[in-house]
Chain A
Amino acid sequence: MAVSGTSRQKQTDEVMELTLVNTVFQIFSSNMMDIPVIKPLVDVLMTVPIVKYLVALILWKPFFAVILVPGLTGLMLSLLFIIWFERKLTARIQWRMGPLEISRSIGGILQPLADGMRYFFQEIIIHKEAHRPYFVQFPILAFIPVLLPVLFIPAGTVYAIRTPYALPVIVSLISMIPVVIMAIGWASNSRLAFIGTVREAFMYFGYEIPFIIAVLAMAVLYGTSDLYLIVEKQRVWGIALNPISALVFLITMAMATSRLPFEIAEADQEIAFGPFVEYSGILFGLTMTLAYEKMYILGLLFSVLFLGGGSGPPLPFLGDLTPVIWLYIKAVIIMCIMAFLRAVYPRYRIDQALRLGWTYLAGLAVVSVVIAGLISAGGLLP
């Protein structure tokens, strides 16, 4: 009896496991990406026993949004592209060649990859005065506020979490990044890092308020903070409805990602990358790309708020991938515009940047809220 009891128990376990797996599989396969181009391949793979779970997971919309595009993979690809693009564009404008020696035939586009690999194999020096545990973990912790906003950004129907509080959540998560940077500067415990940290703190207050007000203006205009609804409501792009808000968003974005007119906290000519001065090896790689990652997230947010998100001319045979591609292209174009600024402008002093942030930008942001209120109240939104 005992034996049969155990086997029955085992049988029940197996059945339960099978049901669990099937339930999960049901969840995955009920919300899969529909891409006509690879549909025959997917249909074939879905009949293979184990592989079908994997395929269902990869093509599950939340997973696709977070891990592939516009999430982690898209972020990495855009990082590799934008670092190369920024260097190359600046070089062209300054009559130089830019990165070229690595992969000469394709214009040196593999240079950021080569740099990244070099960072991996470089020694990480932790100097004596640094607060060792914080010094090592903050660059890695910085990824949490950088990557979490991706959960809430919709590309058409491809999104991880849909919530009416998406916009406040994204803005608050983005606001956490400078806190981590300040923590990095504190943990570095050196003079230049300290100067950079203080500058970062000043800048933080300088741009964050106009930024939040500008985003608020768009929430007022659309009457919702649900990004999915915001995209749906944009028959006319938000940049045409409220250009002042878009301008404030762009300038504060340049401040937030320390692009060149406002590259005050990093200022590599005078304080040698500010808060990140003590880092080397892969930790430096992580901290250096922090601003670019923030730029990507802000680019996605800008595209969703002002450029119609994933909307665009339909691409044949791509199905659910169409809005993803359009959103990605828009975000990368915004990043390119930010990279272009570096070649045009010299750096502001901190007092000039703060004056700009606290007076003109804050004023313009309030004006944009008024405009948004008028449009919203007048029922001008189609």
Chain B
Amino acid sequence: MRSRITRRVRIKTPDLNLVDRVKGHIDAIVTAAFQAIFPDRITIQYPRERRDVPDNFRGMIQFDINKCISCFQCSFVCPANAIMMRGAPDGRYYPCIDYTRCIFCHFCVDTCPRGALLRTKIHDVAFSSMEEMFATTEELIEPPEMLREDDTVIRYRIENGDLVLEKIEEIAELSTRPEIQVSPAKLSACAHPENCIACTLCYLTCPSNAISVKVVEGKRTFEIDPKLCTGCGLCVKECPTCTLTLIER
């Protein structure tokens, strides 16, 4: 193996006779002439044409407020600290995204237990100021505002090992359907019941009312309804004595 690497390779100028040379010239001219008549253009005329991107394209993020359970997972997972949870008049907290920080990793979308954050294929939005790049919850509900000039979609397909460019006259759909949750479903469970100090914080924080309190013989006991629990982990976070944990369903 070593000898193969160190072996000296000498490159010689190809020894072509006149026939080969003339053939080469003719070949080049014919190829060029063919391309001049039927060009295999690869240019995408961007504002007028738009390249088709897959559904899991990491573009700007859209937010569905009806699905959100205010679990804060998106804001915890964000590696760039771009998501801020802001209090709403209904007493719950909803995410705002600071696009000056966002690195479009879509960890928030992947981590959302209810699929409230949606991917879009929009990546070409212009902002006129830094302040405008802070998208509040209200702005996240609507897809970002942008100027569309495209009427053609560019798709690539592989044909006999060649990449073939296809132009389809249609207006590209840029929003995506919320995908089915692929991360393992979680469930809140009491891992260490002996730690519980019966502070009811878990009961108070649970957004889906899966935790119920019963007073039996002067003592509070808690019960988690697995049907209602979404595995959002809010109770686990709030528990001061690390009684609760998330287990896989």
Contacts and interface: CB of A to CB of B under 8 A. Distances in A.
A355 to B, nearest CB: 14
A107 to B, nearest CB: 13
Nearest to B30: A344
Contacts of B35: 92-93, 95
Interface in A63-105: 89, 92-93, 95-97, 100
Interface residues of B, number: 12
Interface string B147-160: 00000000000000
B249 interface: no
Could you tell me the dominant secondary structure of chain A's interface residues? Answer: helix
A224 B29 CA distance: 36
A96 B39 CA distance: 9
Nearest to B34: A93
B3 interface: no
Contacts of B19: none
A340 B41 contact: no
Contacts of B39: 92-93, 95
A97 B28 contact: no
A8 B32 CA distance: 77
Contacts of A97: 41, 43, 45
Interface in B26-67: 28-29, 32-33, 35-36, 39-43, 45
B32 A96 contact: no
A1 to B, nearest CB: 83
A92 B35 CA distance: 7
A350 interface: no
B41 A92 contact: yes
A93 B32 contact: yes
Nearest to B40: A95
Contact of B42 (A93, A95, A343, A344): A95
Given A344-B28, A344-B29, A89 B36 contact: yes
Contact of A340 (B32, B40, B42, B45): B32
Contacts of B36: 89, 92-93, 340, 343
Contacts of B29: 344
Contacts of B40: 95
Contact of B41 (A89, A96, A344, A345): A96
Interface residues of A, number: 11
Nearest to A92: B39
Contacts of A344: 28-29, 32
Contacts of A340: 32-33, 36
Nearest to B165: A95
Interface string A149-193: 000000000000000000000000000000000000000000000
A100 B48 CA distance: 13
B43 A96 contact: yes
A89 B29 CA distance: 13
A343 B29 CA distance: 9
B163 to A, nearest CB: 12
Interface string B7-30: 000000000000000000000110
A345 B31 CA distance: 12
Contacts of B32: 93, 340, 343-344
A343 B40 CA distance: 15
A36 B39 CA distance: 42
Nearest to B35: A93
A317 B237 CA distance: 94
A340 B32 CA distance: 8
Nearest to A94: B35
B35 to A, nearest CB: 5
Contacts of B45: 97, 100
Interface in A309-347: 340, 343-345
Contacts of B42: 95
A96 B35 CA distance: 11
Contacts of A92: 35-36, 39, 41
A112 B41 CA distance: 22
A93 B34 CA distance: 8
Interface in A248-276: none
A89 B37 CA distance: 9
A34 B20 CA distance: 53
20 contacts: A89-B36, A92-B35, A92-B36, A92-B41, A93-B32, A93-B35, A93-B36, A93-B39, A95-B35, A95-B41, A95-B42, A96-B41, A97-B41, A97-B43, A97-B45, A100-B45, A340-B33, A344-B28, A344-B32, A345-B28
Interface of B: 28-29, 32-33, 35-36, 39-43, 45
In the A-B complex, the 7 residue pairs with the closest CB atoms: A92-B39, A93-B35, A344-B32, A97-B43, A95-B42, A93-B32, A344-B28
Given A95-B41, A96-B43, 14 more contacts: A89-B36, A92-B39, A92-B41, A93-B32, A93-B36, A95-B35, A95-B40, A95-B42, A95-B43, A100-B45, A340-B32, A343-B32, A344-B28, A345-B28
